[in-house]
């Protein structure tokens, strides 16, 4: 036996309105810090034949304020961005700088040798070079002609 369900157009319009309200709420009224997927630090990661390279943007930070570790093919970058002195004379109109501790974990695409990793920090950009493990590096095979 088939059940018939009565169509109620007002119910459909309320659902559409709720969806539009959520869309505008997420896009315009929610501040950046409330779990919108925005990550600190922003990174680029790529690999060459020999290395995995990670570039992290850390504006205003110093090298001594950043900790890097590799455990089970997970790269962890930790640090803290210090807040400027608060002044009562300032009347901010917009304040988007982020302050506080952060921790970013990135799954590495292949096995690396963490003991031979290099990290350089220049002009707010952290460059981490992680050599690939010998067993995952591409091997050249010579072809012999007969």
- At residue 131 the predicted structure's pLDDT band, cuts being 50, 70 and 90, is very high
| 108 pLDDT tier (thresholds 50, 70, 90) | very high
CB 34 within 8 A of CB 122: no
Banded model confidence at residue 80, pLDDT cuts 50, 70, 90: confident
Q: Does residue 41 surpass a pLDDT of 60? A: yes
pLDDT at position 70 is 93
Tokens for 55? 């570039």
Q: If you average pLDDT over every residue of the chain, what do you get?
A: 81
**What span, in angstroms and rounded, lies between the C-alpha atoms of 55 and 75?**
12
Question: What's the whole-number mean pLDDT along residues 20-30?
Answer: 70
Backbone angles phi, psi at 132, to 5 degrees: -70, 150
Q: Is the dihedral of CA 11, 16, 20, 22 positive or negative?
A: positive
Query: Pick the residue with more confidence: 15 or 45?
Result: 45
- Answer yes or no: pTM beyond 0.85: no
Q: Is the pLDDT of residue 96 over 90?
A: no
Rounded Cα distance between 129 and 134, Å, is 15
Supply the DSSP string of 32-63, one letter for each residue: TTTTSS--SSEEEEEE-SSEEEEEEE-TT--G
Strand partners, 129: 53, 118
- Assess whether pLDDT exceeds 50 at residue 37: no
Q: pLDDT band at residue 6, thresholds of 50, 70 and 90?
A: confident
């Amino acid at each position: 036996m088939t059940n018939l369900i009565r169509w109620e157009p007002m119910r459909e319009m309320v659902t559409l309105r709720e969806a539009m309200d959520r869309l505008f709420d997420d896009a315009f009224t929610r501040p950046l810090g409330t779990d919108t997927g925005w990550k600190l630090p922003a990174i680029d990661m790529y690999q060459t034949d020999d290395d995995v390279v990670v570039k992290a943007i850390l504006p205003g930070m110093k090298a001594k304020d950043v900790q890097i570790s590799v455990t089970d093919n997970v790269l962890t970058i930790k640090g803290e961005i210090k807040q400027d002195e608060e002044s009562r004379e300032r009347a901010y109109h917009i304040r988007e700088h982020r302050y506080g501790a952060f921790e970013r974990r990135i799954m590495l695409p292949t096995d690396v040798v963490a003991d031979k990793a290099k990290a350089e920090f220049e002009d707010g950009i952290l460059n981490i070079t992680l050599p690939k493990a010998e067993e995952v590096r591409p091997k050249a095979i010579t072809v012999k002609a007969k």
